[in-house]
């Protein structure tokens, strides 16, 4: 079996989320053991929210869940890489496909991604 090293970061391991089709990196989240086990059990990327201090099933509010297609573990067993299918097309809460939609150019951040959805529509009450 796999034994992820959650001790190195006080119970958390970083998880890189990559589009299974295009290999674009969509986001990085953190998992605790429960989030990791839930991801394995459900096939949906699940994280531990450091700001809300609770388990966070990605897409539970927006419907944009991440269906796990492949799981890779790094050489030190302390970092997870998930290749996923992004339901809804956008991983970022800003409505962009990837959270990495800004590129550093001449010392300034330049937006290069286009918005897939309007967050005001998706996260309204």
Residues in 42-81 that interact with its own copies by CB under 8 A? 50, 70-76, 79, 81
Q: State which H helix or E strand residue 122 sits in.
A: helix 119-122
121 binds its own copies (CB under 8 A): no
Residues in 13-32 that interact with its own copies by CB under 8 A? 14, 16, 18, 22-25, 27-28
8 binds its own copies (CB under 8 A): yes
99 binds its own copies (CB under 8 A): yes
* HEC string for 72-120: EECCCCCCEEEEEEECCCCCCCCCECCCCCEEEECCEEEECCCECCCHH
Q: Which is nearer to its own copies, 2 or 52 (CB)?
A: 2
Q: Which is nearer to its own copies, 71 or 87 (CB)?
A: 71
117 binds its own copies (CB under 8 A): no
Biggest alpha carbon distance in the chain? 46
3-state secondary structure of 48: strand
Beta strands 80-86 and 46-49, pairing class: unpaired
Residues that bind its own copies (CB under 8 A): 1-2, 8, 14, 16, 18, 22-25, 27-28, 50, 70-76, 79, 81, 92-94, 96, 99-104, 107-109
């Amino acid at each position: 079996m796999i034994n992820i090293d959650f001790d190195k970061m006080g119970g958390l391991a970083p998880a890189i989320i990559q589009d299974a089709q295009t290999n674009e990196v969509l986001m990085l989240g953190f998992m605790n053991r429960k989030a990791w086990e839930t991801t394995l059990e459900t096939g949906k990327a699940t994280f531990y929210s450091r700001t809300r201090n609770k388990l966070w099933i990605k897409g539970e509010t927006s419907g944009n869940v991440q269906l796990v297609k492949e799981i890779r573990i790094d050489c030190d067993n302390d970092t997870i890489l998930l290749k996923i299918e992004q339901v809804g097309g956008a991983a970022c809460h800003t409505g962009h496909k990837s959270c990495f939609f800004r590129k550093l150019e001449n010392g300034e951040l330049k937006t290069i991604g286009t918005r897939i959805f309007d967050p005001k529509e998706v996260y309204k009450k």
